[in-house]
Every structure is written in structure tokens, then in C-alpha cells.
Amino acid sequence: MAYSDFLTLKQVEEAFGFEQERKEVFAKKKIRATRLSKRLSMDIEDSTRLPILSEKAKSEGIIYPILREINHKNKEFSIFSGYTFDVDKSLSLNGICDFVLSADTKSIDIEAPVFCVVEAKNRSVEEGYGQCAAEMYAAYLFNQKKGEERNIIYGCVTTAFEWAFLQLEGKKIYIDTERYYLNEVGKILTVLQEIINFYKSYPVS
């Protein structure tokens, strides 16, 4: 098995003893749209004029430019795209992650702490919850093995047009009650920045 074999959250719960809960992960009243750069506006405009029908096209044309926009404002983290993230094959925590966000910028390989994973799906965000949750748990174990334990890991499942955020804390997988859409991409940027800010201020153990 691998990450992609976790088709539902139920599988993750049964495999690792997690519980799922819906909650307001990001306070809606705090989410104000971030202003887009001219480059991102043009990238999205160009992409939405084209037939974007595959996960690869969505990842390259929309998702990566959004993550790159955040990276331009926060040089303290790196984006790894299409990375083989083998953490523990005995637990089926291995395989390719669409995007892994790491707070280390000095290495060409992923180093701890990993704080967020982004999973691209072609049809609906719900179909990616299980895989994303497994990747989040892998990120937690990866950080732990590297001596960079973090109690909270974030995840996101997106079709490029719809974005849903998740949070792993202890044995709970929280699914944000809010959804964000490409026509309000400024709010997606704000949520991503909230995640970055959390890790910037995270106390070092």
C-alpha cells in the first residue's frame, strides 16, 4: 500500500486510531482577501482560458502558482512538487505527495520540519481526504524522527477550483467547515499565510 491507497478517512482512522471532526479551523471573520500580484493574476487568467482537465494540468497551471506566490513573500520555506515521501513503508506511509511544504530552505531534499501537504484531485476534494490525512501523519512522524516534533500539521485537498483545509492535532483530524474557491483566491492566500505564520511563531522544543 501507499498514500494513494487510503481512499477514505475511515481507512486512516482504522489504521492509526484517529478520530475526525469538522470545525472552524480558520476563523472566518479573520479571513480577509490578500491582494494578488500581477503575475499570479495573469497565471490564473491564462490557465482558466485553457482546458484544464487533469490533475497535472491543475497542479502546474493553478496550484503551483498560488503556492509560489506565498513562497515569494516567505522565503523561509520550500515547496517540493511531486516528491517521493517515503516515511514508513510498514505503515503504508510512502509514495508521492503532490506538494510538501518544508521550513528548511538549505537542502535540495526535504528536511524537517514539514508543516503542510497539498493534495490535488481531479473531481472532488472529498476523494482526497484519506490520502491527505495519511500524508499529514507521515509528516508528523518524519518531523518526530528528525527531532523537530510539531503537534500540528496542516493539509489541503484541492481541485484547483475548490480548496478544503485539514488539521492534524494529536489523534484528531479536523476538517475545516469552510471551503474556499478560485474566484476568491485572495482568501486562499490568506489561509496559506496563516499556516506560515503559525510555523514562524511555533515554539522550539
Distance CA 63, CA 172 (A): 27
Residue 188 forms part of a structural domain:
yes
Phi, psi of 8 (to 5 degrees): -140, 160
Range of the domain at 152: 3-200
Distance CA 135, CA 171 (A): 14
Q: Which of 65, 61, 57 is nearest to 38 (CA)?
A: 65
Number of structural domains in the chain: 1
Q: What is the mean pLDDT of the chain?
A: 92
CATH code, domain with 19:
3.90.1570
Residue 205 forms part of a structural domain:
no
Residue 101: strand, helix, or coil: strand
Contacts within 8 Å (CB) and 24+ apart, 8-11:
8/129, 8/130, 9/129, 9/130, 9/133, 9/173, 10/130, 11/130
pLDDT band, very low/low/confident/very high, at 182 (cuts 50, 70, 90): very high
Report the percent of the chain where pLDDT is more than 90: 78
The pTM of this model reads 0.94
Q: Which residues pair with 81 in a beta bridge?
A: 99
